[in-house]
Amino acid sequence: MAGKCLQLCVFVICAIQTSTGFNIDVQFPVIKEGKTKGSLFGFSVALHKQTEKTKKNFLLAGAPQEKAQPQLSKFNINETGAVYYCPISIEQDDCRRMDLISPPQSSEMVEGMWLGVTVASQRNGGHVLACGHRYVKKLLGAEEHQRMVGKCYVRGNDLTYDPTDYWQSDTYELCDFNYDQNLEGMCNMGISGGMTENDVYFGTPGSFVWQGTVHMKERDPNFDFAGDANEISFGKLGEDKLNIYIGYSVLEDIKLLDRSKYTVVTGAPRDNFRGSVILAEKQGLVLNPVMTIPGEQIGSYFGSCLAVTDLNNDDWNDLIVGAPFYFDRNKEEGGAVYIFMNENGSFQKKASLVLKGKKGSGFGFAVAAVGDINQDGFQDLAVGAPFQDSGKVFLWMGSKNGITKEPSQVIEGKSLGPSGFQTFGYSLSGGMDMDGNDYPDILVGSMDDRIALLRARPVIHLSQNLTVEPKIVIPNQCVNSCIKVKVCFSYNLSTGNTAFKKDITVKYTVDADPNRRGARVRFLDNKQSTFTGLLSFSTPACQELELSVHTPVRDKLQPIVFTLNVSLNEQKAAAQQTLQSLDAFPVLSGQQTLTSKTEINFHKECGVDNTCSSNLQLKAKFADENYIPFPSQTMEFNSNIKKLVMMVNVTNMPDGGKQEAEDAHQATLSITIPPSLKYSGVRPLTGLGIECSADETVICDLGNPFKSNHKTSLIIIFETSGVTLYTKQIESQLQLSTISEQKDLDPVSVTLNVKNTVLTTFSLEKQVIDTTFSGSVIGESAMNSISDVGSPLEFVFRVSVALGEPLGDLGTLMIDFEWPYEVANGKWLLYLTEIVIKGALELHCVPPGKIVNPLNLTLSDRGTKRSKRAVESGYPQAEASVTVLAPRKVPHFLECSKMTARCVTFSCPLHNMSTQTEIRVRSRVWNSTLLEDYANALRVEVKGQATLRLLTDKPAIRMDNQTREFSVNIDPVLGEETPYEVPLWIIIVSAVAGILLLGIISLILWKCGFFRRASRREMYEAKSQKAEIKIQPSETERLTEEF
């Protein structure tokens, strides 16, 4: 017993932690175990009340794979199944076996008959039904044939056999075993069944090649002899109804199609592969189908289990149908229960509500009407999901609107302590009070050789009353204690049982001045604003508390609110050697409010009505940092604007149609901070002492009170760090508040429209590039690579966005070029070879129309050898030739605006630009054109231009265009003149003329004696005369001699 007590304590802790719900108790379950492991004890369950001989309550459990009784072993019978009855006790192994099977005849086989597959009770004072659907009849003859027809047993209210009771002595073998499966030779009677006041009914799904049917034995209550029973069943329905399993589940009840007549409801889970439910009425000895409700999903086994109960208390029974194999792969759902609400004796074929379980849970494997568990006047419903974790049972409470989608309580198998449940909820039974507290209980079976009785706890309706005196408090006269709080409680049971007078303990909490940072009153007992106490009572009881005012009181206008919250203070479970009564563990009704509220006021100097009425008004607008309001509240924003302000004016002035504005107590101004702005500070323009704090909202204390006929102005300063190109509007909500009376304190919205100006920088690395031309003329067709064209040029443009963020999808920066590609006569001038854009990625700009490298020349030079001069000039040096000096040279200016050059216009978009990018425009001077047309030019100056603009469809974004001019100074190579080739005939004539001229001059000189030589005598005379000449000394020599 000590071990059981320890087990009970552990179990109670687990139950408290894991159970959820309403009044079905999981702390003190009654758990019973089977005698033999693997017997499937709990495969079927039923509640039974014994009223004959003695009053007892029993739990009935089928164990269809239980070993045979010892007296049958001599017949070589090992396994028959069994039905057990268990008392309501804390013992787990005190179940006893019902004596049902007699020694078999030679024509019957009880081995493996699965006795206990169905167990049912005729309710209060009634009989008990037990079936084994695998019972076999032998057809003896030349060949032995075995017919699995099934068999059921009926026993008396005291669970014993009375041969004088024709309910018991009748033979419940209703299928004719003389025929094969085409008729009822394999009917499997008893796979489902039940009892009413006059009928015993059985499902026989194997009849007529598994069409199935329902067999009934109807007895007239006015007669009591064996021959008074009528056998009623369906007939054969047709070849299209084979293999649909009619009778797989069956029940019979009134208030379905008729308030007084019984209707048979049976499931056919394989009908049209989707399953169906058939509602039939008795017509003579035949069951006549009146209505068929089809299932929705193939293979869902719609109709495999059934229940009927009045969920909305309209005096009509509603229909509950299980489909445990329903699934929805997308929603991870598995198992469904369909609720068909009765509409004055008829049903729609579409369910009023579908309850669905989790994937693989088997939700809907068992359904049961469990009575009015909480005694609220509405019948309740239980659904088993045996394969969800350790198994679960879901409870729904009925109401005037039926049931909701969400369950009222969920009970897990593992919440019952170390009970060993793995398939909790495989079978269900309810609707009977088994512990005598007038609340129906629930019996839950499993395939784990265990069952559990879950009992309902009493439900009480608690009445509470909260009063506070006095209603008006004068603070300076309430220093010690002047406020009294009184709480009173009483209760009554939901069953209406006035004799129930058990002591209950409530835990109550009185909260004075809640939801305030500093309460204005305090309880004398604990010097706090909250008091929690316990009160035990069985009859109406009250408790009084005293409070004092905590001075000084800043807020005298707001009333002092008192709230009362109540809960039951549940007792701790103690170890018990007998079954714990649940009277000591009631629960509060879920239909009542457990909170009370009242309030009192301070005396205020606001007129005879003790009410202050203010007239707070405000105006606000955005302005720049110089306090100049934006025109039309529209801001032209650019990255140079770092701050803006909001100008706010608040007044408390009477208007023409209003009485004098009274003081506004605890006046505050709340200003929401727009996401694109950052709060920087506040600057009062008028008035002193205004304090503001900021988090997500700027809250300014305007004064307590904000006096009548008073006004103030303040400036809220914001930083524009969050304003981006995506910002279209800046909006802020301003809200005045006061605890004085004022009804028109609506939020004021201040909106600033934003027009963004994109600030960019557009520059050229070199605005003027100097280059040269030289060499010889090469025809266009003779050119293979760009090096054949002329000197290379490269203009480097740089673009940066000052906002520090890319434009994204708001627009695209474009560069429009006016490029001088031809001279006026149509000859090439500056030949474009490549445009490279270097931003976030390196891209090439290729405008349409073959503007770049239209001749498809090879971009890379092919290793042409160049002289030093050619390398420096960027173009090969011409071969030496006879040159002459050109006449006087003049400069030439080529630009499109003066019609001296032709320009092509094209654009390059700056896609994927971050905040900076570089555009390199590469070209070649067309050397041949300059040699042909400008050989005598001092310099050729070529001009073009590029314009940066913004392409966008957003009207709130703009940018000023920027134009940059560029030019190229092209000079002939220095030291070289344009070569002039002299004709050959001129050379020959000049040579002949020169020879003739030389001959004439020589002749003249000869005639003059120029070529005649002097005589020797004359020569000697000349030498002698020269020798006699005295050479005069130099000035240097003379001075030297004198020295």
Express each pLDDT in 614-634 by its tens digit.
Answer: 888 999 999 998 889 999 898
Average pLDDT in the 901-920 region?
Answer: 89
- Name 990's Cβ contacts closer than 8 Å, sequence gap at least 6: none
Burial class (CB in 10 A: 0-12, 13-18, 19+), 410: middle
Last residue of a domain, one of 563, 579, 602: 602
| 658 plus 783 within the same structural domain | no
Last residue of a domain, one of 454, 474, 506: 454
Confidence of residue 1038 (pLDDT cuts 50, 70, 90): very low
- Name 969's Cβ contacts closer than 8 Å, sequence gap at least 6: 768, 769, 770, 771, 939, 940, 941
DSSP code, position 582:
G
Q: What is the CATH number of the domain that holds 484?
A: 2.60.40.1460
Confidence of residue 1029 (pLDDT cuts 50, 70, 90): very low
Half-sphere exposure of 492 (CA within 13 A, CB side): 8
DSSP code, position 298:
T
**In the predicted model, is pLDDT for residue 207 greater than 80?**
yes
Confidence of residue 883 (pLDDT cuts 50, 70, 90): very low
Confidence of residue 460 (pLDDT cuts 50, 70, 90): very high
Q: Characterize the bridge pairing of strands 697-703 and 136-139.
A: unpaired
Average pLDDT in the 487-502 region?
Answer: 88
| 318 plus 225 within the same structural domain | yes
> Considering the domain boundaries, does residue 1040 fall inside one?
no
Confidence of residue 611 (pLDDT cuts 50, 70, 90): confident
| 594 plus 633 within the same structural domain | no
pLDDT at position 884, please?
A: 42
> What burial letters (b/e) apply to 515-530, b meaning 16+ CB within 10 Å?
eeeebbbbbeeeeebe
pLDDT at position 346, please?
A: 96
pLDDT at position 225, please?
A: 55
| 930 plus 1006 within the same structural domain | no
> Considering the domain boundaries, does residue 1036 fall inside one?
no
Q: Characterize the bridge pairing of strands 768-773 and 748-757.
A: unpaired
> Considering the domain boundaries, does residue 304 fall inside one?
yes
pLDDT at position 5, please?
A: 39
Confidence of residue 515 (pLDDT cuts 50, 70, 90): confident
> Considering the domain boundaries, does residue 29 fall inside one?
yes
Q: What is the CATH number of the domain that holds 387?
A: 2.130.10.130
Confidence of residue 159 (pLDDT cuts 50, 70, 90): very high
| 510 plus 556 within the same structural domain | yes
Q: How many domains does the chain have?
A: 5
568 neighbors 504 (Cβ within 8 angstroms):
yes
pLDDT at position 885, please?
A: 46
pLDDT at position 221, please?
A: 64
| 812 plus 692 within the same structural domain | no
817-844 pLDDT tens trace: 999 999 999 999 999 999 999 986 788 9
> Considering the domain boundaries, does residue 977 fall inside one?
no
- Mean pLDDT, the chain, whole residue set: 86
> Considering the domain boundaries, does residue 1042 fall inside one?
no
The answer for 18, left when phi > 0, alpha when psi is -120 to 50, beta otherwise, is: alpha
49 neighbors 57 (Cβ within 8 angstroms):
yes
Backbone angles phi, psi at 956, to 5 degrees: -85, 5
Amino acid at 934: Y
| 569 plus 651 within the same structural domain | no
pLDDT above 70 covers a percentage of the chain that reads 88
More confident residue, 232 or 1034: 232
Cα distance between residue 263 and residue 316, in whole Å: 12
313-322 pLDDT tens trace: 999 999 999 9
pLDDT at position 1014, please?
A: 57
Q: What is the CATH number of the domain that holds 689?
A: 2.60.40.1510
Average pLDDT in the 542-559 region?
Answer: 85
pLDDT at position 985, please?
A: 82
**In the predicted model, is pLDDT for residue 345 greater than 80?**
yes
Q: Characterize the bridge pairing of strands 192-195 and 691-694.
A: unpaired
| 231 plus 283 within the same structural domain | yes
Average pLDDT in the 320-342 region?
Answer: 96
- Name 108's Cβ contacts closer than 8 Å, sequence gap at least 6: 135, 136, 137, 138
pLDDT at position 610, please?
A: 64
**In the predicted model, is pLDDT for residue 872 greater than 50?**
no
**In the predicted model, is pLDDT for residue 876 greater than 70?**
no
- Name 142's Cβ contacts closer than 8 Å, sequence gap at least 6: none
Cα distance between residue 330 and residue 308, in whole Å: 31
Domain carrying residue 655: 616-757
**In the predicted model, is pLDDT for residue 1037 greater than 60?**
no
pLDDT at position 572, please?
A: 75
730-771 pLDDT tens trace: 999 999 988 888 888 889 999 999 888 888 899 999 999 999
Any idea how long the chain is? 1043
> What burial letters (b/e) apply to 631-657, b meaning 16+ CB within 10 Å?
eeeebebbbeeeebbbbbebbbeeeee
| 531 plus 579 within the same structural domain | yes
Lowest mean pLDDT among 302-311, 446-455, 663-672, 683-692: 683-692
What separation, in Å, do the N-terminal and C-terminal C-alpha atoms of the chain show?
A: 160
DSSP code, position 975:
T
510 neighbors 573 (Cβ within 8 angstroms):
no
> Considering the domain boundaries, does residue 1037 fall inside one?
no
| 465 plus 519 within the same structural domain | yes
> Considering the domain boundaries, does residue 421 fall inside one?
yes
Q: Which two tokens stand for residue 904?
A: 């092509």
Last residue of a domain, one of 421, 454, 487: 454
| 793 plus 917 within the same structural domain | yes
More confident residue, 1034 or 691: 691
| 804 plus 734 within the same structural domain | no
More confident residue, 389 or 803: 389
Rg (CA), the chain: 56
Beta bridge partners of 467: 486
